[in-house]
Amino acid sequence: MIKPTRRQFLSTLAAGTLVAGCGNPESINKSKSLVSNIHQHTDKIFDVIIIGAGLSGLMAAMTLEENGYKVLVLEGRNRIGGRVYTLMDVPGKPEAAGEYIGANYARMINTIKKLGLDMYNPESNGIDRPWMYHINGQNIDAKSWESHALNPLEGEDRQLLPHRYLSRLSNRDNPLADKPLNAWLTKEMHQYDIPHDQYLRAKGLNEETIRLMNVVIHSGGIENTSAINELRRYHVMDWNSKMAFPDGKSWKMVRGGNSLLPIKMAESLDNEVLLNKTVVGFSDNGNQVDIQCADTSRYKAKQVVCSIPISVLRNVIFEPSIKGIQKEAIDQIDYGLSMQAHFLVKEAFWEKDGNDPNMWTDSPIERLGVRTKKHKDDPESCVVFVNGPESLKFRLMSDEQVFDYVEAELAKIRPSTKGTLERLMIQSCERDIHGAGDWVYWQPGQVKKFGNNMRHKHGNIHFCGEHTAIMERGMEGAFESGERAALDIIFNS
């Protein structure tokens, strides 16, 4: 495999990837120029217009079209896929967002098969490698952790490795265990709609354990996250882990990159998905919805399916306006943030210092992970992955400043990385206007308040998206929600 030079990378990135926080449009979609698209279809009245070409919007579009509806999809970015985003221009084509497909992802697997795509088991040279830890300024290898003075747990729990604390300890005695996947929305669970740290303290966990659990929480911090959010997360993961593909594996990826799935879904539709169509407003007169885009074009449909992430909806005008509890949900629900700094590994720094390659830390850069290879010939690459409150600081930095910061912090905790890494790209789902963040999360009190009130249709506008899923989470949650919105139109409108 010939590694592209840094200059080749920068020229590819300048062509689209880094500038817009998006993939190279030529390589991932049959996009036309913005100019030629501006007035396409503006005179027609569609049965349904779908906003957003992520998995949920595309699932809604396919389901409706299969049932005889004339549909059009409008997408704000210059690429298909939303939070499914394979970095096609980066060596090894790493997944920068939706990555692992669980054996229970029935709708997603069905769509993959229907569209003639294939799944595969990635080479496990990243996730199966052990971690080394950097905690309170000390480097600790996994074997030493059980007896280490910094280990805050007691008895058999001392064997638990720090990167497992959040999932294992949150899931212990999970009140959702053995209940259906929608049980998190029931009244019985409202007693757990409290800050997760409070829930854990009541379970007897000490402050240092809770601090370490907070390192990789996918939200706005453990004290700002409802315990139900975490209990649901691990309940669904438990459900996933009970299933297996016929080869015994629990998780797979799409061969060639997960982005191929939304691209194929878009290609299967009668009408080409229109890109660069940022929707800024909806006017619904009761019979028809008029959709306004940032490029001044307008589209009309009898019904709309809107998959825009809920916090992005704060910037969209609805006529008539959304009021009451649904408006409060739009104004208050947030997404967990993350930042990924991708590097090519020019020299195996772990061979230089003799430590395990992957690092889990309580430092400002949280995790250094050597990427799982898709293929044995892929070059070695790694990612610094920061999420939760620690990623907020990167909102105040340019991409170059993020790289400078990450390299400086890495040099402090892992001097062997100096001079061994080549900068590739910074990726973050909230670093452009169409992305709210990684995954929606529920703050204390929000499940009780909004859990059953945020997916109601508003006039002729139906909502979907991972944030509205009832049973599943992540990519399968997106499929579930798109199917629900489509079926609502098919059966109730």
Among 178-186, 275-283, 375-383, 452-460, which window interacts with ligand FAD (CB under 6 A)?
275-283
Among 132-140, 196-204, 301-309, 389-397, which window interacts with ligand FAD (CB under 6 A)?
301-309
Task: Enter the tokens of residue 170.
Answer: 């949150």
Q: Exactly one of 77, 196, 342, 449 binds ligand FAD (CB under 6 A); which one?
A: 77
Task: Enter the tokens of residue 341.
Answer: 């700094």
Q: How many residues does the chain have?
A: 493
Among 24-32, 96-104, 281-289, 356-364, which window interacts with ligand FAD (CB under 6 A)?
96-104
Q: Exactly one of 37, 56, 111, 391 binds ligand FAD (CB under 6 A); which one?
A: 56
Q: Which is nearer to ligand FAD, 76 or 126 (CB)?
A: 76
Largest CA distance in the chain: 71
Q: Does 98 bind ligand FAD (CB under 6 A)?
A: yes
Torsion angle, alpha carbons of 230, 240, 369, 80, to 10: -90
Q: Does 22 bind ligand FAD (CB under 6 A)?
A: no
Neighbours of 139 (CB within 10 A): 15
The phi and psi torsions of 289 (rounded to 5 degrees) equal -110, 130
Q: Does 232 bind ligand FAD (CB under 6 A)?
A: no
Task: Enter the tokens of residue 211.
Answer: 């601090």
Among 6-14, 68-76, 128-136, 163-171, which window interacts with ligand FAD (CB under 6 A)?
68-76
Among 75-83, 109-117, 231-239, 343-351, which window interacts with ligand FAD (CB under 6 A)?
75-83
At its nearest, how many Å lie between ligand FAD and the CB of residue 61?
A: 11
User: Could you tell me if 193 and 233 are in contact, meaning their C-beta atoms sit under 8 angstroms apart?
Assistant: no
Q: Which is nearer to ligand FAD, 436 or 447 (CB)?
A: 436
CA distance 57 to 101: 18
Q: Does 25 bind ligand FAD (CB under 6 A)?
A: no
Task: Enter the tokens of residue 330.
Answer: 């739009």
Q: Exactly one of 308, 345, 383, 447 binds ligand FAD (CB under 6 A); which one?
A: 308
Q: Exactly one of 100, 239, 245, 405 binds ligand FAD (CB under 6 A); which one?
A: 100
Beta bridge partners of 274: 74
Q: Does 338 bind ligand FAD (CB under 6 A)?
A: yes
At its nearest, how many Å lie between ligand FAD and the CB of residue 43?
A: 20
Q: Does 474 bind ligand FAD (CB under 6 A)?
A: yes
CA geometry: angle 211, 212, 213, nearest 5 deg: 90
Residues in the interface with ligand FAD (CB under 6 A) total 38
Q: Which is nearer to ligand FAD, 55 or 153 (CB)?
A: 55
Q: Look at residues 218, 104, 230, 103 and name the one whose alpha carbon lies nearest to residue 172.
A: 230
Q: Look at residues 340, 344, 359 and name the one whose alpha carbon lies nearest to residue 423.
A: 344
CA distance 305 to 464: 7
Binding mask 433-472 for ligand FAD (x = CB under 6 A): -x---xx-------------------------xx------
Q: Exactly one of 60, 88, 213, 312 binds ligand FAD (CB under 6 A); which one?
A: 312
Q: Which is nearer to ligand FAD, 195 or 336 (CB)?
A: 336
At its nearest, how many Å lie between ligand FAD and the CB of residue 269?
A: 15
Q: Exactly one of 475, 485, 486, 489 binds ligand FAD (CB under 6 A); which one?
A: 475
Q: Does 197 bind ligand FAD (CB under 6 A)?
A: no
Q: Does 84 bind ligand FAD (CB under 6 A)?
A: yes
Q: Does 82 bind ligand FAD (CB under 6 A)?
A: yes
DSSP state of 126: S
Task: Enter the tokens of residue 205.
Answer: 């966990």
Q: Exactly one of 210, 410, 429, 447 binds ligand FAD (CB under 6 A); which one?
A: 429
At its nearest, how many Å lie between ligand FAD and the CB of residue 29?
A: 12
Q: Look at residues 294, 287, 293, 289 and name the one whose alpha carbon lies nearest to residue 319.
A: 289
Q: Does 259 bind ligand FAD (CB under 6 A)?
A: no
Q: Does 334 bind ligand FAD (CB under 6 A)?
A: no
Q: Does 99 bind ligand FAD (CB under 6 A)?
A: yes
The residue ranges that bind ligand FAD (CB under 6 A) are 51-57, 74-77, 82-84, 97-100, 277-279, 307-309, 312, 316, 338, 429, 434, 438-439, 465-466, 474-478
